[in-house]
Chains A and B, each alone.
Chain A
């Protein structure tokens, strides 16, 4: 939905106020990062940044959020653009999901993101939703936040006390909780450039295309021949945060990718994942789906995919 989204949002029927209209707020269109940060501070942090609005507008309409001020960041030029910077691809926060599909630099230097993009929502939502918004929201069922982990990406953050870069490994803290402090803005994400000796794979299991995944996974491996020098594997829709499966990674690093190693990695998932109780997808079923998906993706990696 709509699955996650609706079950999360549709609980509006339980609310006394069933209006699907937002509470009144003021609106400010920022032209620069400084203006946006300043406005947030002066609203006493009772403010929200709005980028693509594809998650925030429904949350406002359902009154799950009711800030005093909305700060539109979509006209800030500094947050746009995709380009190479040293060993990294810098992806501006306002890069839209549809641009993750159409931008040649992403296909070449961050192909895992390119492969994940068609699975993010539906075409019209991809026309508005932004990469920075997706990472900031940190929905555990979302594709892009999990892929920043697999890619060992760094998140660039601007705030009242200056600018910093946080590794994806340190960014996702708990359910919808990240290293972002109130009033801080994601300005860009830095992804190490894809190299010739690397391979990637991505897939997800969902009831219907466009739905949030029951389980999803992406991986990036560095190979010498069939020997795995390094691999990072990240799952989504498996718990409160996007999750790296370090036990499975350890089962693979330094070995040849063969059926025995794949089985060992699948076996390690039980220690890596603790799927939440859920009526729709019981933990044992989610773990089973995760094993199936991991096997499939490692198989593709073995074929050089």
Chain B
């Protein structure tokens, strides 16, 4: 990477070319430096499964995986993600990584309008990859940054709890 040049200051609203691997596919797009990753995913790449709610880190609707970790895509600029591997809810659905969680959310009515669901699933996925047998309290703690305006959370915790137990019993639900 070269050093700083005064030219950097002239191109405030000019787009920059960024490259990522999104859902195992290489993509390149032109973004303005001020564009958040959630806007880039939704508007440039048309991956609208990632939702934009509060756009300030409070609701968790915009969670994606960056290099394997859950991250708020409203709290990251697309330029910052240049070179990263990104998984969105679409990619995790296609590759089957969260199929059991999705089936259990469905079975237990752990979603109503579904606005919060992609973020809930990404956080649940990360929790279960770090902790095989979380307690209900640990599940609630992990979801503390995810708002659901519909379900009252109980069914969401039930669903994650059930999948955790099924996974550690060695079966898939």
Interface assignment of B51: CB less than 8 Å from any CB of chain A: no
B141 with A209: CB separation less than 8 A: yes
User: Within 8 Å CB of B58, what residues of A?
Assistant: 1-2, 5-6
Interface assignment of B34: CB less than 8 Å from any CB of chain A: yes
Interface assignment of B13: CB less than 8 Å from any CB of chain A: yes
Residue from A22, A74, A123, A209 whose CB has the most chain B CB atoms within 10 Å: A123
A303 to chain B, nearest CB (A): 23
User: Within 8 Å CB of B11, what residues of A?
Assistant: 26
**Contacts A26-B8, A27-B77 known; A125 to B57 CB distance under 8 Å?**
yes
For chain B residues 133-150, which have a beta carbon within 8 Å of chain A? 140-142, 144-145
User: Within 8 Å CB of B123, what residues of A?
Assistant: 123-124
Contact among A58, A70, A124 for B56, CB-based, below 8 A: A58
A39 with B4: CB separation less than 8 A: yes
Binds B, one of A60-68, A150-158, A278-286: A60-68
Docked CA distance A145–B6 (Å) = 35
| Contact digits for B1-35, partner A, Cβ 8 Å, 1 yes 0 no | 10110101111110010000000000000001110
The chain A residue sitting closest to B34, CB to CB, is A22
Contact among A25, A128, A210 for B34, CB-based, below 8 A: A25
For chain A residues 47-77, which have a beta carbon within 8 Å of chain B? 50, 53-54, 57-58, 60-62, 68-70, 72, 74-75
Interface assignment of A23: CB less than 8 Å from any CB of chain B: yes
Docked CA distance A43–B7 (Å) = 11
A24 with B32: CB separation less than 8 A: yes
A61 with B56: CB separation less than 8 A: yes
B34 with A21: CB separation less than 8 A: yes
User: Within 8 Å CB of B6, what residues of A?
Assistant: 42
User: Within 8 Å CB of A123, what residues of B?
Assistant: 70, 123, 126-127, 142, 145
The chain B residue sitting closest to A123, CB to CB, is B142
B42 to chain A, nearest CB (A): 13
Docked CA distance A123–B129 (Å) = 13
B43 to chain A, nearest CB (A): 12
Instruction: Tell me the interface secondary structure of chain A in the complex.
Output: mixed
Interface assignment of B107: CB less than 8 Å from any CB of chain A: no
User: Within 8 Å CB of B60, what residues of A?
Assistant: 122, 124
A24 with B3: CB separation less than 8 A: no
Interface assignment of A20: CB less than 8 Å from any CB of chain B: yes
Interface bin, chain A: 35 or more
Interface assignment of B80: CB less than 8 Å from any CB of chain A: yes
For chain B residues 103-146, which have a beta carbon within 8 Å of chain A? 123, 126-127, 140-142, 144-145
Contact among B56, B69, B76 for A62, CB-based, below 8 A: B56
Interface assignment of A38: CB less than 8 Å from any CB of chain B: yes
User: Within 8 Å CB of B3, what residues of A?
Assistant: 35, 38
Interface assignment of A195: CB less than 8 Å from any CB of chain B: no
Contact among A70, A74, A124, A208 for B33, CB-based, below 8 A: A70
Interface assignment of A224: CB less than 8 Å from any CB of chain B: no
B145 with A210: CB separation less than 8 A: yes
A183 to chain B, nearest CB (A): 13
The chain A residue sitting closest to B147, CB to CB, is A2
User: Within 8 Å CB of B80, what residues of A?
Assistant: 50, 53, 72, 74
A76 to chain B, nearest CB (A): 10
A24 with B77: CB separation less than 8 A: no
B33 with A26: CB separation less than 8 A: yes
Interface assignment of B40: CB less than 8 Å from any CB of chain A: no
B145 with A125: CB separation less than 8 A: yes
Residue from B9, B16, B57, B75 whose CB has the most chain A CB atoms within 10 Å: B57
The chain A residue sitting closest to B126, CB to CB, is A123
**Could you name 14 residue pairs across A and B whose Cβ atoms are closer than 8 Å?**
A5-B58, A25-B34, A27-B77, A27-B79, A30-B1, A54-B72, A58-B56, A58-B75, A68-B9, A98-B69, A123-B123, A124-B71, A125-B75, A210-B141
The 8 tightest CB contacts between A and B, nearest first, are: A122-B145, A210-B144, A27-B33, A39-B4, A58-B56, A24-B13, A22-B34, A124-B70
Interface residues of B (CB under 8 A from A): 1, 3-4, 6, 8-13, 16, 32-34, 36, 55-58, 60, 63, 69-72, 74-77, 79-80, 82, 123, 126-127, 140-142, 144-145
| Given A58-B57, A123-B142, 4 other A-B residues pairs in contact with their CB atoms under 8 A | A61-B56, A75-B1, A123-B70, A127-B69
